[in-house]
Amino acid sequence: MVPRIGRHTGDSGARLIDISPPISESTPVWPGDTAFTRAVTSDLGDSDAVTINRITTTPHIGAHADAPAHTRIGGAPIGSVPLEPYLGEALVVDMTGVDGAACIRPVEETVERLGGHLPQRLILRTYPKYPREWDNDFAGVSPELTHWFADRGGVLIGIDGASFDPMDSKTMDGHHAASDLGVAILEGLCLDEVDEGYYELIALPLKFLDLDASPVRAVLRTLPSSLSTPTHAGEESS
């Protein structure tokens, strides 16, 4: 019998939703940070054997993961953080109606409405439409929400805004709360095509040994109905 390539029965109906904004010279970055640029160092069009590009960029571009080293002397660089938080079941919560930083109440209300199951990963949508230009007024994540989530076994919070902390923050309380509690940070996610609900998150950072962050190619995979049914709070679906 000749083996045939096909879809595993457990993947039936699942689809990927790309939540990574495109990266190019027009991608906005934090004011004063290093914008994305590229140069062609070898070009098939010039009769070279291959095309090769050189890029210059901040690692905090597009969808990205912050490491503890971003805000803490002696904090772990992104190449040393555990990968488990960036892969697994996640709950997307709509916070577009919230003024200020993302907070606890909308998460509680969404969890109750969907049956009481709180996964270990939260993805917070604060924009009705992802901004294509720099936005000074992005919503951060309140330290109270991070503490509340970590107390219940949470390991990652992702947001569509540029940072966990407000633009004018000097103390970086949101980042420090996440570092203190071992909660991984994702920022800059594009959630325009995502409804509230349960998904599988896949957003692994690159293994930059000494950097304070890394871009990620973040996607959400829809869950089969048997897996999206709420289970006991704090447990992963299998």
Q: Annotated catalytic sites, by residue?
A: 70
DSSP secondary structure, 8-38, as one string: -GGGTT--EEE-----STT----TTS---EE
Burial annotation 27-45 (CB, 10 A radius, 16+ → b, else e) = bbbeeeeeebeeeeeeeee
Whether 66 contacts 205, CB under 8 Å: no
- How far is it, in rounded angstroms, from Cα 52 to Cα 43? 7
The values of phi and psi at residue 140, to 5°, are -95, -165
Give CA angle at 58 (52, 60), nearest 5°. 120
